[in-house]
């Protein structure tokens, strides 16, 4: 009797674990089964490298290069803004922050991590868009605006992961450096930061993943024009935005082309995730 119950529950636990595998398999299956035929029909090169996206033309044209570049530029901008600010903040927190200040700064960073992306997007819409418009001209919905907003959004990821990497560096390294006459600042810059290099890199990769996958906040500030990006102060559309904006009224090949956009996004994310695992594995070794 008791044995039967033990065995039953063990299979329930095992079944739960199998749900993970099933879920990933289902996601793969449904995305690829619905997206790949469209890519085949449009032609892989024409789809990936096509410079025009005009789903309502006759015949329709489905090229997602504008969106691939849009995602790329916006992410690069976010990294350019978020990484220096984030890594230096992490060095500050791990190395020179006075204790009372730390008890303020740490919860503030956690707070930033918890803010929903829709609130970020709203803030971008009512604050950053007008500021960019007034400072640099244009209508404010631009690659620059999206980069600034995404830079803010990846800040907590970069800070939290980098800080723990910096703290994981053995204190002997710091003590050795200062014993050799290095100042605190030089020890942090020339010894601790290089020692935590792969951890910081992992933080950056995580930040890239978050920026590429972000949807709602970007939609609200990027302008979303489906054309080849023309400048920092002009609008652009990301892969994620393409899906949300048109899925509502798309049908047939158009709908499948949007799902195929999701497939491309998914593959990008998997590659980024793979990079992250490789970096982490090297760290462990």
Partner 1 sequence: MRRKPFDRIFLLLLWSAAGLTFGTVIFLVGYILINGLPHIQPSLFAFRYNTENVSLFPALADTVVIVASSLLIAAPVGVFTAIYLVEYASHTNRLVGLVRVMAETLAAIPSIVYGLFGFLFFVGYLGWGFSLLAGSFTLAIMILPLIMRTTEESLKSVPDAYREGAFGLGAGQLRTVFRIVLPAAAPGILAGVILATGRIVGETAALIYTAGTVAQIPENLLGSGRTLAIHMYALSTEGLYTGQAYATAVVLLALVFSVNALSAALAKKIARR
Residues numbered 169 to 188 that lie near partner 1 (CB under 8 A) are 183-186, 188
Q: Which of 189, 232, 253, 283 binds partner 1 (CB under 8 A)?
A: 189
Q: For the beta carbon of residue 142, count every other beta carbon within 10 angstroms.
A: 28
**Contact with partner 1 (CB under 8 A): which of 63, 70, 77, 86?**
86
Which of these, 99, 273, 84, 92, lies nearest to 166 by C-alpha position?
92
40 or 127: whose CB is closer to partner 1? Answer: 127
Between CA 28 and CA 164 the distance in angstroms is 33
Q: Which of residues 97-136 bind partner 1 (CB under 8 A)?
A: 97, 104-105, 108-112, 114-123, 125-127
CA atoms within 13 A on the CB side of 86: 31
Residue 156 near residue 113, CB atoms below 8 Å: yes
What are φ and ψ of residue 228, in 5° steps? -60, 135
How far apart are CB 58 and partner 1 at their closest, in Å?
Answer: 26
Host H or E run for residue 170 = none
CB of 42 to partner 1, least distance (A): 18
Binding residue for partner 1, selected from 248, 251, 252, 285, defined by CB under 8 A: 248
Give whichever of 9 and 80 is closer to partner 1, judged by the CB atom.
9
**Count of residues for the chain?**
285
How many residues sit in the footprint of partner 1 (CB under 8 A)? 84
Runs of H (alpha helix) within 53-192:
65-91, 99-114, 117-123, 129-136, 143-167, 171-179, 184-187
Structure-token match 């048109």, residue found: 246
| 80 binds partner 1, rule: CB under 8 A | no
Looking at the Cβ atoms of 163 and 230, the one nearer to partner 1 is 163
Structure tokens belonging to residue 209: 């993943």
d(CA 111, CA 101) in angstroms, rounded, equals: 15
**64 binds partner 1, rule: CB under 8 A:** no
**Interaction residues for partner 1, span 2-61 (CB under 8 A):** 2, 5-6, 9-10, 12-17, 19-21, 23-24, 26-27, 30-31, 34
Contact between 78 and 143 under an 8 Å Cβ cutoff? The reply is: no
Of 95 and 229, CB closest to partner 1:
95
Q: How far is the CB of 134 from partner 1 (least distance, A)?
A: 16
Interacting residue with partner 1 among 199, 207, 223, 262 (CB under 8 A): 262
Helix (H, G, I), strand (E, B) or coil at 226: coil
Binding mask 204-243 for partner 1 (x = CB under 8 A): -----x--xxxxx---x-------------------x--x
């Amino acid at each position: 009797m008791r044995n039967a119950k033990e065995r039953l529950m063990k299979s329930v636990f095992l079944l739960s674990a199998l749900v993970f595998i099933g879920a990933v398999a289902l996601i793969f299956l449904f995305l690829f089964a619905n997206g790949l035929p469209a890519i085949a029909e449009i032609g892989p090169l024409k789809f990936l490298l096509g410079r025009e996206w005009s789903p309502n033309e006759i015949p329709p044209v489905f090229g997602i290069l504008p969106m691939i570049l849009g995602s790329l530029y916006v992410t690069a901008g976010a990294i350019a803004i978020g990484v220096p600010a984030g890594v230096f903040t992490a060095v500050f927190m791990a190395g020179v922050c006075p204790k009372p200040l730390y008890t303020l700064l740490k919860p503030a960073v956690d707070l930033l991590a918890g803010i929903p992306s829709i609130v970020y997007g709203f803030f971008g819409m009512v604050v950053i868009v007008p500021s960019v418009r007034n400072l640099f001209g244009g209508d404010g919905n631009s690659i620059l605006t999206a980069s600034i907003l995404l830079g803010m959004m990846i800040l907590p990821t970069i800070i939290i992961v980098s800080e723990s990497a910096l703290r994981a560096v053995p204190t002997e390294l710091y003590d050795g450096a200062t014993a050799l006459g290095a100042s605190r600042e030089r020890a942090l810059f020339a010894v601790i930061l290089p020692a935590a290099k792969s951890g910081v890199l992992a933080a950056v990769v995580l930040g890239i993943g978050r920026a590429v996958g972000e949807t709602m906040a970007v939609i609200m500030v990027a302008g979303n024009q489906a054309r080849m990006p023309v400048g920092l102060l002009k609008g652009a559309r990301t892969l994620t935005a393409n899906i949300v904006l048109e899925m509502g009224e798309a049908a047939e090949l158009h709908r499948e082309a949007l799902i195929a956009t999701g497939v491309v996004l998914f593959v990008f994310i998997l590659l980024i995730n793979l990079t992250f695992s490789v970096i982490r594995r090297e760290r462990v070794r």
